[in-house]
Structure 1
Amino acid sequence: MIERMHLSILREIEREGSLTAAAKALHLSQSALSHAIRKLETRSGTAIWVREGRRVRLTTAGEHLLAAANRLLPQLERVDAVLAEHATGERGSLRIGMECHPCYRWLLKVVEPYLCEWPGVDIDVVQQFQFGGMAALFNHEIDILVTPDPLRKKGVYFEPVFDYEQVLAVSADHRLAGAAHVTAEDLTGETLLAYPVDTARLDIYTQLLTPAGFSPRRHKTIESTDIMLQLVAAGRGVAALPRWLVAEYGQRQALAAVSLGPQGIPKQIHLGVREPDRGLRHVAGFLELAASLSQQDGDSAATPADIA
């Protein structure tokens, strides 16, 4: 019976002081405003106001409705605002799936400023590094996929946001620390530390070892990046990691980075999103911020000489 317009009319009459001014504020004709209230009075069986010349005086029922209007309309307007924020992507959630261990440390550099710029958006990160990222994206289990190895498929857009080089991390006093690059044969006597993923997904195998027909003396899996690089610094093994990550840890530990092969192994971090979601403001905002921050990092990134 009671419609939002009825409440708005009573609030504007109180604010503006007359039917004419209230009608103007609501972009209605005065007759339309009066008709709406008469219809409500007919339905409810009670008077809402009494005319006194050009002004109106609210009845007891009208005063009750006015109190309700002042209480309910701000709540309804807040609901409208939240819905609008959802529609424009200023509010909601962003679920991010990770397909590589080192990418998580890169992601942390993006998440903090994003949360400041988009206070209405919640972020959740899925760190199941061996999960099916593309399937999760298609099934709407995640909204953004972070991966260094994008799988191009119809309906998914990949944005390259960060260029880096995959290098061999060794201890500062390792025999290979001063080399211009390492070969597959150089690794035959080494313990290769790697994340617990299939070797078919490790660049050091697919782009260096396997094509040359060589294998490391030992392959050991380590879940934690911190532990992995502590072992490397202690001379317990070597690891293939992004140069920027080795440089970051090299500020605190005795590490060196050596290119893998004479041409090195260039890589990119990509952000994958569903094509229809590219237009969502909170998704587009994340892509733009990631690219912007990565460009800044790239401009000040360590050169091979800085860490080697």
Structure 2
Amino acid sequence: MAILERIHLEIIRAVDQNGSLTAAAEKLHLTQSALSHSIRKLEDQLGAAIWRREGRSLCPTQTGEYLLGLANRLVPQFVHAEERIEQFARGERGTLRIGMECHPCYQWLLKIASHFLAAWPSVDLDVKQKFQFGGVGALFSYDIDLLVTPDPFHKKGLLFESVFDYEQVLVVGPQHPLRQASHVSPEQLSKEILITYPITIDRLDIYTRFLTPAGISPKRHKLIETTDIMLQMIASGRGVGALPRWIVEEYADRFDVFPVRLGKSGVDKQLFLGIREADDSIDYVRGFLALARAQRDSTEAPRSA
């Protein structure tokens, strides 16, 4: 019977992440011969190859793909458990790792973070933006502890709570003819250059809730990663954008841009915090959620009327 050990999963994961046995061995502080011997022994026990060579590259076999998926789920959980236990041993409370699945929500998070750090001096915060579009998977794999997202994916084992209401608006520059409009129709954007964050169209509200239902596409679609550059481009007349109204208002002193309602009724959105159901009993996780609720209750939500 094959005995699958943690080191096997770590090796498989390291080879996939680093591209070669040599690089994986260096990453794991092993000799290449020790790493190769460990994998050969596992393959003999399994009766199946884990990798196949394609030129100079190593590609996982069907068995390898399965083990890689297992490794990507389990290894982060081992690391998370060890870090948490070490923190307990040092008398620390831990670290709350927050994943961002919302480009413009960083400013909102900063308001909560300052209050959280003051209220929980023994808990650190770590914000991971690389999980912008894989946050649910990151929660399940224990890469993060809390997810900030406008698009909750309700699944067994996860809890999502709405903590902020906002309106998605069109953003235009000072010379744009729509600047004084009470609202914009989808057809009016057919000749516009639309600037958005680098997100797939099926996750952009201006498409899914405004343009696509009307069968309309913009003249061009430009992708910009940072809010500051996006607003600078819009202020310079290089295109129009779609952002939360509160972002436009917060940047009003820095950029000459203006919000215009999307349609007569507007596009209303909510910001959610997601956690693992098992972590709902952790006091500082509950504390962060409580601060987010307090921020929501003390701030007047944007109205669509």
Q: How does 1:151-162 map to 2 (within 5 A)?
A: 151-162=153-164
Residue 264 (structure 2) aligns with: 262
C-alpha distance in 2 between matches for 1:85 and 1:239:
48
C-alpha displacement at 1:284, in angstroms?
0.5
For these two proteins, the number of residue pairs brought into alignment is 219
Name which of 149, 152, 168 aligns with 1:150. 152
C-alpha displacement at 1:304, in angstroms?
7.8
Residue 132 (structure 1) aligns with: 134
C-alpha distance in 1 between matches for 2:131 and 2:217:
24
CA RMSD of the aligned region, Å?
A: 2.0
Provide structure 2 residue ranges, at least 5 long, that are not aligned to the other structure: 1-86
Amino acid of the residue matched to residue 255 of structure 1? Answer: V
Residue 187 (structure 1) aligns with: 189
Amino acid of the residue matched to residue 245 of structure 2? Answer: R
C-alpha distance in 2 between matches for 1:109 and 1:85:
29
Provide structure 1 residue ranges, at least 5 long, that are not aligned to the other structure: 1-81
C-alpha displacement at 1:111, in angstroms?
0.8
Residue 290 (structure 1) aligns with: 292
1:96 aligns with 2:98: yes
Residue 176 (structure 2) aligns with: 174
Q: How does 1:182-261 map to 2 (within 5 A)?
A: 182-261=184-263
In the TM superposition, structure 1's runs of 4+ consecutive aligned residues that sit over 3 Å from their partners are: 82-86
CA contact (8 A) 2:195 2:224 kept: yes
C-alpha distance in 1 between matches for 2:112 and 2:175:
34
Normalization by structure 2: what TM-score?
Answer: 0.68
| SS of residue in 2 equivalent to 1:250 | coil
The 1:172–1:294 alpha-carbon spacing in structure 2 relative to 1, beyond 3 Å, is farther
Normalization by structure 1: what TM-score?
Answer: 0.67
Amino acid of the residue matched to residue 112 of structure 2? Answer: V
Residue 123 (structure 2) aligns with: 121
C-alpha distance in 1 between matches for 2:251 and 2:131:
22
Cα deviation digits, residues 49-96 of structure 1 (max 9, x gap)? xxxxxxxxxxxxxxxxxxxxxxxxxxxxxxxxx85997xxx8111010
C-alpha displacement at 1:297, in angstroms?
2.8
Residue 62 (structure 2) aligns with: none
C-alpha displacement at 1:105, in angstroms?
1.7
Larger radius of gyration: 1
C-alpha displacement at 1:194, in angstroms?
0.5
C-alpha displacement at 1:129, in angstroms?
4.8
C-alpha distance in 2 between matches for 1:304 and 1:200:
24
C-alpha displacement at 1:276, in angstroms?
1.6
Q: How does 1:50-65 map to 2 (within 5 A)?
A: none
